[in-house]
Chain A
Amino acid sequence: MLSLYLAIPLAPLVGSIVSGLFRRAVGRAGAHWVTIVGVALATVLSGVVFWHTVVLGAAPFNASVYTWALSGGLRFEVGFLVDSLSASMILVVSFVSLMVHIYTIGYMREDPGYQRFFSYISLFTFAMLMLVMSNNFLQLFFGWEAVGLASYLLIGFWYERETAIAANLKAFLVNRAGDFGFLLGIAAVLAHFGSLDYGEVFAAAPGLKDVTVQVLPGVEWSLMTLVGILLFVGAMGKSAQVPLHVWLPDSMEGPTPISALIHAATMVTAGIFMVARMSPIYELSDTALSFVLVIGAVTAFFMGLVGLVQNDIKRVVAYSTLSQLGYMTVALGASAYAAGVFHLVTHAFFKALLFLAAGSVIIAMHHEQDIRRMGGIRRHMPVTYWTSLVGSLALIGFPGFSGFFSKDAILEAVHHSQRPGAGFAYLALVAGVYVTALYTFRMFFLVFHGRPRMDPHTLEHLHEGPAVITVPLIGLAIPSMLAGAVLVGPMLFGDYFRDAIRVLPANDVLAEWGGHYSGVLGFVAHGLSAPPVWLAMAGVVTAWYLYLARPDLPERLHGALRPLHSLLEKGYGFDAFYRRVLAGGARALGGVLWRLGDQRVIDGWLVNGSARTAGLLSGLVRRIQTGYLYQYAFAMIAGLVALLGWFVRG
């Protein structure tokens, strides 16, 4: 089995290396073939592993492959832990990646950096697979940084655009800020557990749950709280949770395929995956989970609101991603890890679909991204239209579509949770359902319905993309529709995850609720009787009324709600704050240190000062060297007399 597991990440890596280093030799077609074959192989093998591990229920595989370093008694290794959690992740990652690879053939057709792009996205796939298959913290961090690198390279793919390079720097730095916490967390784990292996750390965690650490004078935290929160800071960077969310909207500067793959379906869910993987640690700290819960709720609601005022089609979807990541985070905070991962999976399908559909529209519109200049595209692009509709319905949680099941599971879990902050989170999420439906269908109606608002030339040339564009759309639309219904029973209430996710009985909200579970239809019926579904419907109706029935209303509303609108447009001022206070502050401080510390104090006073002093002294000494013989003679005699006197006295 080991060689099979190894082949899964290595196949995309080989593709990446070949298309990257030998781009001239393989040419454009060679580059996409070699990477697509690599990723397709990974997908097929992931399917085999999924079947074996999840469906047939084989025992988890846990073994190391390579010893990276050995120091003292410590081993740093590369190894795989394949259980239901990682088996599900690799299947989702490689499948979405495959769809995106195929789509890229169409989307990047005219780009001069064609081979480079394929090389990067395959590299990303490799890194992401290594991350989710890891059985230890070291490799987790490896993957964590490597996906960040791929993201950096791809956001800045069009490196001659100033906005793109500003965005990729920002993404890297914000993620680094998260890594600050992540590294501290890993260091704390190593210091207290003496190991970086998941198995050993998780086994030892219950024994250390009473260890406390004084984080500030007078503030005692349990070790698990500290570790949990530090690791979660890393997740906040990678999964773009408030206040480390600012990089994700800007990351839309990258080509659309990577927005789908990296900034919607896979990389940004690494934080969610990580917390689920660490459930044995998080379960031991209510405080850490409350923190997770509240951060997630804030992100889910407030970022959704910002999505309402965006006019760039990709930025709408990006804010939606932020909000949905918030939903997943809330699930984790409520100890409903399974629900979080469930939403992660369904979201990966429908959000990748929405991004790729947006990309399809963008190409047809000749790289126009402003939804105010679209409209009526439905007739010209039927495949894109229908798949977008599927994606949108899944996103808002329309009964029967995949997002319905996963979102409802999260809402129910939070509703049942007794954890501090759960009440607030429930309200935020329920209100978020309305907001989600509103911004989703605002975009949908503005793009596909109504009267065309583009220039006649563009309108004339509107047409559906080639098969390499439409096939991935359909490929993603199918699971966006069905994944929820298929997975809801086993994932939430069955023994899907077995030991991969551990929940203390007292925290197990899903089990509590699962007693009432009576099949998919019962779930749907239950959903129809609860407010969220009707809120979503209300959102759709509102969007229809505002943007199709009475298109004059938004303008007037905008005027009436100007302060709120501008607050949302500025994204609550996070960007301005970071730019002015943190980035500006660091630069100013560096400048002051340089001019004052290095140039004035050290060089000015100490170094050049001592040089000046030496100069002065030698000037004095030079005065003595007059060159007049009589003065020297006099000095010698005086010295002699003094010496003699000293001897005589002694």
Chain B
Amino acid sequence: MVALPGRRRSRDPLAAEDAVAGWLFILPAVAIVGTFILWPILQVFWLSFHEWSVITPERPWVGLDNYRDLFNDADFQLALRNTIWFALGVVPTQTVLGLILAVLANQKIRGRSFFRTAFYFPSISSSVVISIIFLWLYAQRGLINFVLQKMGFPTPQPPWLSNPRGVVEMALNAVGIESVSVWLAGPSVALLSIMMMNIWTTMGTMMVVFLAGLQDIPGDVYEAASIDGASRRQQFFDITVPMLRPVIFFVLTLGFIGTFQVFDQIFVMTSGGPAKSTITLGYLIYQQGFGNFAMGYAAAIAVVLFAIIMSIFLIQRRILGRAD
């Protein structure tokens, strides 16, 4: 913490000098963060109360109109629904898979560093490049359909990324239950395809975080447990998982922030289609701001997205953060 220069000067002249030096040292960082992060964030809040077409200089004040419009906007509700499905599908899966991979890659097995690198590789690759590769994999005559056909499984029609049908609805229809509500139709086949790719990409990141957490658990705890006769399974659930609690909190937080903001993969792979079934909040902001000349409205969506992510973070901290 930097001391306030004015108050302390009389008592300790050196403290004032320290403060000035301190401010000078962090000035470049403050200037950069302020100009490129804080200022734009404040602008987004300010813009969300205005109407702005981007291409005209006029930005009339519209009060809460943008926010009021959100509640009647079918696209917003759809985007919110898609985003929630996306987060609920991706975050738990990538967390569990990341943990399993970390435990496996933490064993003393041959080629351990190879597996660690291989699993982490997707995370450090460009998301656009991965998206393009998966475009090919998911194509009608792509590798995934080829393998499915060879193994005698049916392939989705229309193909993966062009299929707007809800997967939960399809499953229910298959067992004879018709017409479920839109909220229960589940993510579309297209969205599910992107979710699977996202899980594959991010579980390596989560694995690395979990690996770091695993190294922090002292070996003598496991030793004591095995002397007491605890099985490997008991050790995992009663020692590893509880001791990883802060790490799990961190991974879940990262996961929810990442999934609620998902944009690049949607942009590259589907542009929100088919039938808007892959429109997420992040993509809707882009589409409204740059495709529909409604930057003020886009800003309002961004503020709502910020509020959602913030509340998820706070709720998580209440539930998981208490152990610290």
Q: Do A and B bind each other?
A: no
